[in-house]
Chain A
Amino acid sequence: MKMITAVIKPHKLEDVREALSDEGVTGITVSEVKGYGRQKGHTELYRGAEYSVEFLPKIRIEIAVTDDKVDGVMDAIARAASSGKIGDGKIFVTNLEKVMRIRTRELDADAL
C-alpha cells in the first residue's frame, strides 16, 4: 500500500477531488498549508511598512491506496491540478505499513 501526498494550488482542489472520484478513490484528507518551491511570494504595504510574504497558501491532500492504483491516481491528480504555471505543486508517494478501519477493525487492503 502507498500513501500519496500531493501539495496543490488551493483553487484546484475541486477538480482534483472529482478526478480522484472518477478513479475510484473514496477517502481523502485535506489540510491547508503554506509553502513555496520556485514560486515567488508577494509584498504587502501598510502605511509605508513593506512586508515580504514568502509563503504561499497551498492545499495538501493525503490518500491511501493499494499499489495497483498508484500510477492511475498520480496521473489523475497531475492532470487535474495542472495550470501550466510555476507553483502547481508536487506529488509524493511513500510506503504505507499498515492501515486499519477503526469502526470495523478491518486491516490493510480491506480498509482501503
Chain B
Amino acid sequence: MRNMGRVLARCVIWPLSMYAGTVMAQEAALPEVVLNSGDTAWMLTATALVLLMTIPGLALFYAGMVRSKNVLSVMMQCFAITALITVLWTVYGYSLAFDTTGMVEGTTNLNSFIGGFSKVFFAGVGRDSLVLAIPESVYATFQLTFAIITPALIVGAFAERMRFGALLAFITGWFTLSYLPIAHMVWAGPGGFLWDLGVIDFAGGTVVHINAGIAGLVACLMLGKRKGFPTTAMPPHNLTYTLIGASLLWVGWFGFNAGSAVAANGSAGMAMLVTQIATAAAALAWMFAEWIVHRKPSVLGVASGAVAGLVAITPASGSCGPGGALVIGAVAGVVCFFAATKLKRKFGYDDSLDVFGVHAVGGIVGAILTGVFASAAFGGAGLVEGVSVASQLGKQTIGVVVTIAYSALVSFVVLKVISFVTPLRASDEEESQGLDLALHNERGYSL
C-alpha cells in the first residue's frame, strides 16, 4: 500500500498519542484530505438526479406545453444542449469555471471573474484527485449537470421559432461568456468576486435561474413574438408530459439542492427538507391564487407553482430552516403566478414558456429572501458573524443585480453577433409548418 506510513500514523500512532497526551506535531497540524465514501456515494447519485432533471425532466415539461408540431424541436434542443455542453465543459468549461489559480481571498483580479486554463481537457484530474472528500471527477460531473440545465432552461423563452443552428451557436456563446464567469464568481471559492462579497447562493439562484431567466427575456425580445401571438390559440398540446416533467424536476431537485452540500451530512439533509417544503408551499400557493383569480385550479398551475418554489428555494437551501422554506415557497408561488399570467400580457412580450416569469422572478425572490431566512433570527443556519440581515440583503441584491446586468448584456451581444451571420428565427413558412418537420424532417406523432 502506497501510504502505509501515513496510514499507520493515522490509525495507530496519532490516536495513541492523543491518549498519551502528547501530540505528533506533523499529523495534528496537517489534516489530510481523505475520500469519504458516504459523501462520494451521495454525490454520484445527486449527479444522476440532476441530469435526469434535464433529460427527460425539462424536455418533457417544455414539450407538453408547446403545440404538437413543435414537440420534437424542444426535446431536440434539450438533448443537443446536454451533449454540446458536456463537450465544451470537457474542453474548457470546467477549467474556466472552477480553476482557482490566481484567486486570492479579498483581492479582485482577473481570476475573481474567470478561471484559468490549468484544467483544460481535465488536465490533472485523475482517479485520485479530490475536491473536499469526493473524487474531483464526481465534482466536475456534478457541476456539469448544472452547466447543462442552465442553458436548457432558456429554450422555453423562444420555443417554436428559433433556428437550430443559431440556437447551438447562442448556447455556446452564452455558456462561455455568461454561465462560466457567473459560476466562477459565485462558486469557485475565496477570491471570487461575488464569493468575497458574501453573496449566499447555495445551489444556483443567481448562477442558474436568474442567469437563464434574464437570457430568456432578452432572447424572446430579440427574436420577436410567434406568428399569431397573442390572438391565435396556442394551448399546450399535452399537459400529461408537462406534469411528468415537473415531477421529474421536483424529485431531481433533491440532487440539485441537497447535492450542493457536496457531502452526505446534515446540511444536505436540511437542504432536502427545505426543498420539499418550499416546493409544496409554492405549488399550493399558485394553485389557490389561481383558484381565486381564475375560479378554477389547474394542472398547469400546480406544476408551475411547484417549479417556482423549486427555483426560489435553490439559493436558500443551504441556510434556511423549515419555517423560512414555507415563506419562501408561498411568496414565490404567488409572485410567480402573477408574473407568469399578468406580466406577459401587460407588456406584450412572448416569453413562450414563462422562463422569465418563473425562473428569473422566482430566482430573484429566492435570492433576496435568502438574505432574511439565512439568519438565525429567522430560523436559518446563521449569517456570517458581524453581518446583519440588512447588510446581507444588500449583498444579495448586489448578486442579483450583477447577474441580471451581465446576463442581459451577454445575451444581447451574443445574439446580435450571431444574427449577422445567420437568421435567428425560422421563416414564416417553417414556423407555420412546425419546426419538427421544417427543421428536423420528423414527426413527433404518427397516429
Closest chain B residue to A49, Cβ basis = B230
Whether B342 and A45, one on each chain, are in contact in the complex, defined by CB atoms closer than 8 angstroms, is: no
Whether B235 and A48, one on each chain, are in contact in the complex, defined by CB atoms closer than 8 angstroms, is: no
Q: How far is the CA of A48 from the CA of B233 in the complex (A)?
A: 12
Q: Which B residues, 278 to 309, have Cβ-Cβ distances below 8 Å to chain A?
A: 294, 296, 298, 300-301, 304
CB-contact partner of B298 in A45, A51, A53, under 8 A: A45
CB-contact partner of B341 in A44, A47, A52, A53, under 8 A: A47
Whether A48 and B345, one on each chain, are in contact in the complex, defined by CB atoms closer than 8 angstroms, is: yes
Closest chain B residue to A52, Cβ basis = B233
Q: Once A and B bind, how many residue pairs between them come within 8 Å at the CB atom? A: 29
Q: Does B436 contact A (CB under 8 A)?
A: no
Q: How far is the CA of A73 from the CA of B341 in the complex (A)?
A: 52
CB-contact partner of A51 in B235, B294, B300, under 8 A: B235
Q: Chain A's nearest CB lies how many Å from the CB of B323?
A: 29
Whether A46 and B300, one on each chain, are in contact in the complex, defined by CB atoms closer than 8 angstroms, is: yes
Whether A51 and B233, one on each chain, are in contact in the complex, defined by CB atoms closer than 8 angstroms, is: yes
Q: Chain A's nearest CB lies how many Å from the CB of B365?
A: 18
Closest chain A residue to B341, Cβ basis = A48
CB-contact partner of B301 in A47, A49, A51, under 8 A: A47
A36-59, CB under 8 A of B: which get 1 and which 0?
000000001111110111000000
List 28 contacting pairs A-B, 8 Å CB cutoff, sorted by A. Answer: A44-B235, A45-B294, A45-B296, A45-B298, A46-B235, A46-B236, A46-B298, A46-B300, A47-B300, A47-B301, A47-B304, A47-B340, A47-B341, A47-B354, A48-B294, A48-B340, A48-B341, A48-B342, A48-B344, A49-B230, A49-B234, A49-B235, A49-B341, A49-B345, A51-B233, A51-B235, A52-B233, A53-B233
On A, residues with C-beta under 8 Å from B are: 44-49, 51-53
On B, residues with C-beta under 8 Å from A are: 230, 233-236, 294, 296, 298, 300-301, 304, 340-342, 344-345, 354
In the complex, the 6 A-B pairs of residues with the closest C-beta atoms, listed nearest first: A48-B341, A51-B233, A47-B340, A47-B341, A46-B235, A51-B235
17 new A-B pairs (CB below 8 Å) besides A44-B235, A48-B342?
A45-B296, A45-B298, A46-B235, A46-B236, A46-B300, A47-B300, A47-B301, A47-B340, A47-B341, A48-B341, A48-B344, A49-B230, A49-B341, A51-B233, A51-B235, A52-B233, A53-B233
